[in-house]
Structure 1
Amino acid sequence: MFLVLAHLLLNHLLLYFWLGCSAFRRRSSSAATLMLSTLTCVAPPSPSASPLPPPTLQIHSNRLLRQNNRYHINTHDVKILKANPARTRSTLLLFNMCLQFYVGAGLMHEAQSLFDEMPERTLISWTILMSGYTRHGPAIKTLMIFLYMIQDSSYTSLQPDSFVFATVLGACAASRNLIYGRQVHCRILKTDGIMDSFVENALVTMYASCGSLQDSSHAFSCILWPNLVSWSSMLSGYTQNGLEKEGLSLFCDMIEAGIQPDVFASSMAIGACAKLSCLDFGMQVHCSTIKMGFVSSLFIDNSLIDFYASCGYIDLSRQVFDKMATRNLVSWNTIISGYVHNTHNHEVLKIFQTLMHEISNCDEFTLASMLRAITDLGSLNLGKEIHGYILRAGFESDLYLISSLLNMYIECIELDGSGDVDAVVPKLFKVHLKEGGFDEFIIVSILKWCSLQSDLRLGQMFHSQIIKFDLKPDPYVISSLIDMYSKCGMILAARRVFVRIKNPGTVTWSAIIAGYCWNGCFEEALKLFREMQLAGAQANEYTYTSVLLACLALLDAKKGKELHCKILRTGYGSNVAVVNTLLKLYSKVSHHQQALKLCSLIPEAEVSWGFLIEACLKAKDHESIHKLLLSIQRSQGDLDPTCACLILSSCANPVLLNVGTQAQAYLTKRGLISDPSTRNSLITMYSGCGEIAASVTAFKQMHEKNSVSWTSIISAKVDHGYPLEALDLFTQMQLKNKLPDSTTFKSVFKACAQEGLVDKAFHFFISMDEIYGIEPSVEHYCCMVEVLGRAGMYEEALEFIDEVIPFKPGSLVWRTLLSSCRINGNMKVAKYAIEKLLEVEPDDFAANRLLKQVLLTLGNWKDALKLKTKNNFVRANSSWIEVRNTIYEFASDQIPMKEVFAEVAILEEKMEALGYVADRNHLLHDSEEAECGTGLYHNEIKALAFGLISLTRGMPIRVVKNVRMCRDCHSACKFMSTFIGRDLTIKDPCNFHHFRDGKCSCRDMW
């Protein structure tokens, strides 16, 4: 501000003091040029007249007029010279005028040349030149000229005035030369009568720019009557040095002192609120700017855009941007940076397209923000396009852009792996080394590149360069070295680098802990964390993330909970990376309820939904899955095909069919449904929901079907009791030259078991190894045991187990054989199977349960009661049904509602009229069911009755049960399907049961 005032004052002195204050008439450009060119030869001088000015002055004058339009100089003074050359009585004035124009145009070389040619220099001449170097740089030259002026004996009569001191202090501020600034301050104090508002404000600015806030505050307190410039200078000092709170306090003091802030002070206050994310105070300043009439100020609007974006209110930021009457490139850069800050990276691309369409121009800051967004998106192709634009626009030597390009290529390299990237990155390194030298950034970037490429040789070479040049041990360089050695598998070399550091800080500790985790040394990582705590180093979010990953790998829930408590105490309880790692840990150790509580601590868009969904699926928590899917749709966060597959897979449940269809619509809107893996998950989802027709439709709508697609639809047909159609699809798959995998063959064997096709099953079993090269696994052998057992060929099944299976049969093999005995009621083989099973797993509760069901099938109540007394554990028995987007659970120990009880009684009456007789052989399925006296009061029947009284007439009823359906309930459902007038589907862990017209899709074999 003081430089602008000084410049204006100098112009007025030149115009009015020497030239006078009268108005001049306009002359044509040609006449003015002619008069100026003849200025030096109007008449022979008298002996007493001053000598003619040197010829160089005429050259400078003509050059000034020719270059006037080229440099867009303010030509008011030139017009005066054109119109009144005769009135210019001193060549010194003309020298100063030309010098002023060169400085105004930023032509400091020409200005210095003219200054050196001046036969005489006044204080104005020195001030003009010094102000030019202060404004255009290098500022150090201002200090050199000032020193020369006060030391040269030829100019001892020139005493610096307040304008000179203000200019020199401005140069000290620009060059951050605190020592010189203090020396100038001492000279000012020795000079009487020189301390005015210009110098006082310049002192405040100088000390603040040099980082000496204490001196700046002292200089400000010495001002008796601080004006707006004084307050603004001090406010700028606080905000520039990271003391935003003190700056806002000063802003309040300024208002209390009766000083009304201007545009610049208000914009600085808004900027301080942006850095502090102080929404309330910032909005108050916004309101005050509206009252003061600063609505259309570019400074205010640009600051508001940054403020709202920094506070996370990007929508308000966009509103300010859209309402701006005029926008400059700073406005566009600010809104783009705001979207990048709030990770709305796709919106960044749209804004950039609009910018290039409207003004077709951008600068290095725009491109740097674009590269950040592209890096977050992982889009290497877009990054290459921006790189090409940088080269075409001439920014290839900009160090900041080179740094951003390096970071983009390094971050995206794992997603592409193309050879041209391996060539581009070393070229960027060479450009940076040429333009910026061998600094910490280039070392960190190269070491990061070596880490990603596992290039140990290059990393060791740069390590030797660090030692050779004896660079200061920067923590980030050291951590990059540790990371490089760790990623290259040289954990001992990384440890040697670490132990040589005296008093390692948080960054270094975090790097070595992460290195041990990377190399699978999780126990050692935990030990290092304990050493870090004993050393007194403070952990940060990266430290906690690495240690939690170690707990995750070790499945150490206890240590994870201890770390969680420490994280809460140290203030990282809402950090996105830390919370997501905690979420993964709790999900893996089956603490999914604790993981669900963590979701509220971070924005929904940042939650790792995949791990939560997997945890809830593992726990079979259908209600939580329902809520999670609704939260995912609300969050509008970034989703990838992997997460989309998890979302659809989690809906593969009859009670989540409505949510599944909503998820399909949502993924279609997000453009993810066209991915082949997502389409395959859609087939599985509809199959798991019991909608085999929708599953087939999804399969037929696929343009390109891969092996997974065929396997999914074959498995769906088998699960829903269509074995022959499944085998037909398998034949079509072979004709389409799609190779089956081990999962495909498991479904094929199950289809053969359902249809009793023993010979065909063995044909496929042999071809699996001989034709397709797939070695049978334990699951395939179990499938063959099931094929033989379901066909009643128990001797062949035992022979297959003893002679064909190449390993000792485990619990899965004997459990499969026992299950087939339950279907066919073979007690002899069942007892043999249970003996073998208990030899392998003596405490297997599932084995006792299966044997009990076999005994009940044969009517052997006495032995069944003994078995039940022997094992008092009863598995929690529940059924679920979805009604109007709400999932209802019916537990075995739950007393039914009166309406449900009444509906069951009505159903029983109708079934008995049709010949239904309760099968009491299965009342020992659970102890509480025995007390009810009939299977009609099992929880799946309660859920079915609730559906009949709650759902609209004709709507299908879908029930999920977590244990195998008993025969009495199965028989009852077949009777009910003849008169309830709607489709009935019950899914238990073994089968889908589609009841219609008195029949079940399982053919009574489950």
Structure 2
Amino acid sequence: MIKAPAVKAIKKKVERDIYGAGSIGVFTELDRESLARRPKPGLEEHSGLEKLPATSLDKECSTSIKEMHPTTSQTELNPVTQSSTFLHQLTRHSQQRNLMAGRAVHAQIIRTGASSCTNHANGLVNLYAKCGHLPKAHSIFSAIISKDVVSWNSLITGYSQHGGLSSSRAVMQLFREMRAQDVLPNAYTLAGIFKAESSLGSCTVGRQAHALVVKMSSFGDIYVDTSMLGMYCKAGLVEDGLKVFAFMPERNTYTWSTMVSGFATRGRVEEAIKVFSLFLREKDEESDCDYVFTAVLSSLAATEYVGLGRQIHCITVKNGLLVFVALSNALVTMYSKCESLTEACKMFDSSDDRNSITWSAMVTGYSQNGESVEAVKLFSRMFSAGIKPSEYTIVGVLNACSDICYVEEGKQLHSFLLKLGFENHLFATTALVDMYAKAGCLEDARKGFNCLQERDVALWTSIISGYVQNSDNEEALLLYCGMKTEGIIPNEPTMASVLKACSSLATLELGKQVHGHTIKHGFSLEVPIGSALYNACKMFDSSDDRNSITWSAMVTGYSQNGESVEAVKLFSRMFSAGIKPSEYTIVGVLNACSDICYVEEGKQLHSFLLKLGFENHLFATTALVDMYAKAGCLEDARKGFNCLQERDVALWTSIISGYVQNSDNEEALLLYCGMKTEGIIPNEPTMASVLKACSSLATLELGKQVHGHTIKHGFSLEVPIGSALSTMYSKCGSLEDGSLVFQRTPNKDVVSWNAMISGLSHNGRGEEALELFEEMLAVGTEPDDVTFVNVISACSHKGFVERGWSYFNKMSDQFGIVPKVDHYACMVDLLSRAGQLKEAKEFIESASIDHGICLWRILLSACKNHGSCELGAYAGEKLMALGSRESSTYVLLSSIYTALGRMRDVERVWGLMRANGVSKDVGCSWITVEKQCHTFVVGDTMHPRVEEIKVLVNFVSRRMMEEGFTTMLDSSYVEEGTQLVLS
């Protein structure tokens, strides 16, 4: 491995190359006329230095000049020498962060009339930016007439090094302006962009910068590569970061620790450990390992990783790394987070070089593990030892005091916070408010809350829950309203506290509004929100004063929370009680009918909407279209859609997804084109439906166009877009693209994994599908019922009977998933493909499900393929008895009877088919050639090149017969007395 320079050395090299000796060659082309120009009266006013004594500035600057030219007086210096002197001094003072000395040079530049020189201005921008005076730096930058790349770099680097959201946004704006002025950035510009994007946790502009890195062939610059890697990891795009990491020609310990931390912060501990293991193999003996060890230890924050933590601890001892206090601190923190306090204490006690962070880690460890008394005692020891605590140490002790109601100790800590100047720190104030609120000291809690102007959701939640815990529910609700007014988005604990306040006050109306907020913000009904809403139901049942709004809220609540049957029942009660429903009530019930396919009830509601005059209301029509589409009544859905002239994205999405769900994918794509023509911007559900249509039609080119639309509209690869794209590419046979989308999908959930597993399985790569399933389990993603359908299907395609049985049993035994008809169907298919037809029959007969038609049909098809006619006849008769209305059942059974020579049974089967009104599905296929889709239907002679097709088919048929293949006849009686025809 190529040895990497230390990070500090890199930074010095950057500073030297941009601002130092590397630039002096340019100075010979200085504008001599501007150098000779004398300063105008009052010029100092514009320098921002009018309050500084000019004599002292001149003296300091003169001293600096004499240091460089000891035998030359200031007046003897020629313009070029004088300019290089100024630049040297500005560079030195920038590196030393010596603002006073830098201002002296600035004043001298103004006095000599050299302020119009771009190089001087660049040096001044760099000086003020490095010293933290960004407004002054920006002011000088704005006055530069001919800005070069160094000018832009000076300010961009200053803002990016300063950090913070506002500074990072300023970097983005500067980069946009720089590109607009056609100034070509260099590697240092791009590194500044990557660093700013890291602070923002974004990659929007960073990806553009990445493209420029590729274009400029800047890969291999350790500073640029490391900054880019940090950006991707901070944004959670670890796969992209890993690609950058893999192509880096040299890596330093900071690079390795960034990659480890990138995986660790996303909860991907196994991958973090893999990178760490790779580091151990590749590291040099002289490599500084402490950063990487610290990074991997910080990822081990659960009890199941304590064993691995112990192994890493042993490696640190073996390599003599415990001399690094940061590593000792990381070990204390790791053991604490892994709930191994005994080992954390041993590590703490054995540490000779404890600093404030060491004590803070141990105090926090006690507090987080419920040992609050020990946390307070240890803090007392720390105080007695003369160790100055950090803000985080005090916060840890405050949390401990909060848990055990140590109010007096908490007040002493409050005083200590004031003494240390932390009174306006958000983190500390939140802990104080929580401590006072839990102790019932609401007045003190409110004072702490009011002292901050900028409050986050944690602080709001602490004060709201404090008032609720102390039964001041009215004030809690007022605070919640204030929180909403300030634009703070609540979290689940906030909503649970507010719902508890509504329950205590029996304020149903406000409770309904809060319920709406929980839905708006996408919170699930898991504890604690579910239990709070349960109390709302009890309030409704006990209320004597119910009006239309009360009923509507409850109906909608049932519908939105998956209790569709209850919603319909409650609406029936409402109707019987003579309460007139609003449009929104009916929409809520329509959504419920849609979910459970209550078509007749939905039609009655449609009539009711017409009676009430809501037929042209967008909200109601969208619900109607959705209900009819999900029920398969596409004609009624289209009528509702067509009756409106002004349609929004929700209505378009309902009709498009309806056609996709009913397998009319061509019409869905035509509707999507119509939507685009009308200028309606699609949303994520729209794009997911359109991608599903492309998947079903296997139209790769169109799928790629739709993928382009998702990028154009700024949709991320989160669910549902990521999984829909992965499925589309996989079904269209482009597994590489599907895999690439999957790898780039951040925060993969079970849907994302299912899409990729299914794609691999259906493309004949069953072993890879099963490997991916095992990887899914390894990273902690819980499988669902769809996962096991895909996994057993993969086993079926590869003939892995034993593994299929293992997964089928594991599904219920290990994961508690009750097998559904799809799982039984996959198992029957698995056994049938393996030729175990008897076992498949026994499995079907022992299955505890009602949908036997599907299973017997699979066995019937397998019997035909394997030539097991007797068992096939048995399966076919079972299907007849179960009332199967699938034409394929009759066709397959008649074929089997034909093979057995039982022609009377053949006639009987086709007689049953006619009597039951079952018609044979017409075969259809299509192919896209040169961007034109050609569709072929059995019996269709309308294709413009039908004669050429006939000639080719006859030629292929003859060649097949010459090679010994025979045509398989299928006994399809079109009407009584007809002959056998080719299917």
Q: Give the TM-score of the pair, scaled to structure 1.
A: 0.43
Q: Give the TM-score of the pair, scaled to structure 2.
A: 0.43
Larger radius of gyration: 1
